[in-house]
């Protein structure tokens, strides 16, 4: 049976690859896409989401979400995904109009309609989910699982120990954890196990597709930024998390206590994963520890082949 999902994202180059994977999958049934600030402004991420859904032939709506995080100020860092959020790629403008509801209202309506069978895949800050939980006190019981690309049980990226999606809105992720929903966290420690060479990446996307010319500038930008910082290999974080959401069996995970560091300082926004055997803390998150790299690469290759047929 296909899993009914909503994808919440902030496209974003790796979000784009994740959406490519999602729309090629026969294992998930995408209800719609919701957008959030993060890799760029909400206006830009929403425009990108609309045009990416169109690019990948998705017949689903896009609902616009949060412009800012809860309680704090955060500005996008355009360097990593480029001034337009997708590496400067120019996509055909989607003929589809933006969905009329706010993201959090659309999420609630779908969750109730699915009566507990809805899963949510988040690829950006969790602000929309948090707002939906604040606004609808009964929402949590309708959500089957949230697969989160975010956090880390080890190093960070935007900060030494804080990962970008959680760091962009730490209070939002803590609000999601407080809601006692089943959460599977695909953090940097996990996506790190899918780090690939530039040649491996090029091999995956080598097959000609209807959108190869559109993906090329995105991949080039992603490679150029990683190269600039001397990365020999690179991670497509959101695509790795999407692969785990589509095929949970490719991940090894353990349910552990997780909380978000909310005190101001160098660790603000860090996901504190308690691995102490004697810990008495509540084990509340299924923390992914590794992803089957070959299975992941094959999923990407199959997705590209799906579009090249
Ligand atoms: O830390 C990686 C995450 O931050 C990815 O979702 C990327 O798109 C950025 O949003
Ligand atoms: Ca993202």
- Domain boundaries in the chain? 3-306
Q: How confident is the model at residue 74 (pLDDT cuts 50, 70, 90)?
A: confident
Ligand lying closest to the C-alpha of residue 157: 1
Weakest mean pLDDT among 34-38, 78-82, 235-239 = 78-82
Q: Residue 1 has what pLDDT? A: 78
Centre of ligand 2 to C-alpha 256, Å, is: 24
> Who's near 146: CB < 8 A, 6+ residues apart?
119, 120, 121, 122, 129, 176, 181, 182, 183, 184
42-61 tens-digit pLDDT: 999 999 999 999 999 999 99
The predicted pLDDT at position 306 comes to 95
Binning pLDDT at 50, 70 and 90, where does residue 233 land? confident
Whole-angstrom Cα distance, residue 106 to residue 10?
17
The model's confidence at residue 258, banded by pLDDT at 50, 70 and 90, is: very high
Cβ–Cβ < 8 Å for 286, 177: no
What φ, ψ does residue 28 adopt, rounded to 5°?
A: -125, 150
pLDDT of the residue at 19: 98
Atom of ligand 1 nearest to the CA of 157: 1
Q: Which ligand is nearest to the CA of 38?
A: 1
pLDDT at 221 over 90: yes
Ligand 1 atom with the smallest distance to the CA of 15 is: 8
Q: Which ligand does the CA of 9 lie closest to?
A: 2
Which of 37, 79, 164, 269 has most ligand 1 atoms within 8 Å of CB, for mutation?
A: 164
Pick the atom of ligand 1 nearest to 14's CA.
Answer: 8
Asked if pLDDT for residue 103 goes beyond 90, the answer is yes
Q: What is the pLDDT of residue 153?
A: 98
Q: Which ligand ends up closest to the CA of 149?
A: 1
The span from the CA of 211 to the CA of 269, in Å, is 36
pLDDT at 230: 83
pTM metric for this prediction: 0.98
List, chain by chain if needed, residues with CB within 6 Å of any ligand 1 atom.
10, 12, 14-15, 38-39, 123-124, 149, 157, 163-165, 237-238
Ligand 2 mean position, distance from CA 96 (Å): 22
The pLDDT confidence band at residue 191, using thresholds 50, 70 and 90, is very high
pLDDT for 159: 95
Top mutation candidate among 13, 17, 39 for ligand 1, by most atoms within 8 Å of CB = 39
Domain 3-306 falls under CATH 3.90.245.10 = yes
Mean of the per-residue pLDDT values of the chain? 96
The closest residue, in CA terms, to atom 1 on ligand 1 is: 164
- Residue 173 vs residues 8, 188, 251: alpha-carbon distances, Å: 13, 15, 21
Q: Residue 76: is its pLDDT beyond 80?
A: no
Q: pLDDT by residue (tens digit) across 115-170?
A: 999 999 999 999 999 999 999 999 999 999 999 999 999 999 999 999 999 999 99
Buried b (16+ CB within 10 A) or exposed e, 105-128: bbbbebbeebeeebbbbbbbbbbb
């Amino acid at each position: 049976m296909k899993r009914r999902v909503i994808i919440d994202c902030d496209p974003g180059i790796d979000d784009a690859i994740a959406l490519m994977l999602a729309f090629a999958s026969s294992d998930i049934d995408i209800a719609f896409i919701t957008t959030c600030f993060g890799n760029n402004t909400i206006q830009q991420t929403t425009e990108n989401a609309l045009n990416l859904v169109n690019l990948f032939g998705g017949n689903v709506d896009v609902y616009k979400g949060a412009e800012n995080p809860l309680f704090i100020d955060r500005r996008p860092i355009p360097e990593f995904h480029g001034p337009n959020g997708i590496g400067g790629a120019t996509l055909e403008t989607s003929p589809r109009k933006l969905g009329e509801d706010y993201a959090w209202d659309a999420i609630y309506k779908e969750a109730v309609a699915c009566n507990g069978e809805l899963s949510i895949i988040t690829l950006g800050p969790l602000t929309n989910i948090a707002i939906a939980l604040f606004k609808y006190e009964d929402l949590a019981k309708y959500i089957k699982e949230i697969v989160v690309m975010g956090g880390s049980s080890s190093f960070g990226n935007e900060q030494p120990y804080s990962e970008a999606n959680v760091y962009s809105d730490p209070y939002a992720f803590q609000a999601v954890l407080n809601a006692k929903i089943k959460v599977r966290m695909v953090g940097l420690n996990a996506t790190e196990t899918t780090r690939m060479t530039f040649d491996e990446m090029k091999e995956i996307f080598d097959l000609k597709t209807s959108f190869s010319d559109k993906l090329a500038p995105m991949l080039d930008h992603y490679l150029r930024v990683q190269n600039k910082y001397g990365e020999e290999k690179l991670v497509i974080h959101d695509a790795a998390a999407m692969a785990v959401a589509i095929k949970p069996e490719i991940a090894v995970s353990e349910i552990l206590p997780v909380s978000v560091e909310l005190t101001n300082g160098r660790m603000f926004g860090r996901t504190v994963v308690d691995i102490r055997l004697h810990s008495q803390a509540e084990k509340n998150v299924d923390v992914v520890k590794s992803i089957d790299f070959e299975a992941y690469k094959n999923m990407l290759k199959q997705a590209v082949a799906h579009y090249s047929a």
